[in-house]
């Protein structure tokens, strides 16, 4: 991975999941997660500030995964903030079908949208009518979204 933003977001999600499964009630753990969250957001903001990186697959993926983090461990309000940014980024790229990684990034965006809405009881989607693949209806799978052990 040559881009720090998606790496830091994935690290934040992994650390949060580990703590939720194995416990971690000490103040040090919460401070470390806050620091990691800060670093992930800072890396995303740095990517967004660079015209060469701002609409890259890495930046889109980082914002999408940050939205999923907020849906699982953060606040619905912050989830909405990231999803609004994601929708704008996808539109500037030319739509979901223009995203790279052989369709993986499109599937990630749609999957995060469906599962976060289901998990948080949200009535509307950010990518309504979008499918994971042509002819396929996305179904929320919150157990996989939350990486239940």
pTM for the full model?
A: 0.86
Contacting residues for 96 by C-beta, under 8 A, at least 6 apart: 90, 106, 109, 110, 127, 130
Signed CA dihedral, 22, 18, 80, 104: sign only: negative
Tell me the torsion sign for CA atoms 14, 16, 17, 23: positive
Average pLDDT over the chain, rounded to an integer: 88
- The residue extents of the domains of the chain are 4-145
Q: What is the pLDDT of residues 100-117, one digit of tens each?
A: 998 899 999 999 999 999
Query: CA-to-CA distance for 90 and 113, rounded, in angstroms?
Result: 13
Residue range 13-69, pLDDT digits in tens: 998 988 888 776 666 666 688 999 999 999 999 999 999 999 999 999 999 999 999
């Amino acid at each position: 991975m040559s881009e720090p933003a998606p790496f830091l977001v994935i690290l934040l999600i992994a650390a949060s999941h580990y703590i939720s499964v194995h416990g971690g009630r000490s103040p040090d753990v919460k401070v470390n997660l806050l620091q990691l969250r800060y670093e992930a957001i800072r890396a995303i903001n740095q990517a967004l500030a660079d015209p060469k990186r701002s609409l890259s697959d890495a930046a889109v993926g980082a914002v999408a995964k940050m939205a999923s983090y907020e849906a699982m461990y953060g606040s619905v309000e912050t989830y909405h903030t990231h999803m609004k940014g994601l929708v704008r980024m996808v539109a500037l790229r030319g739509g979901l079908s223009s995203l790279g990684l052989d369709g993986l990034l499109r599937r990630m965006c749609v999957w995060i949208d469906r599962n976060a809405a289901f998990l948080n009881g949200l009535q509307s989607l950010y990518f309504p009518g979008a499918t994971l693949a042509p002819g396929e209806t996305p179904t929320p799978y919150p157990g996989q979204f939350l990486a239940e052990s």
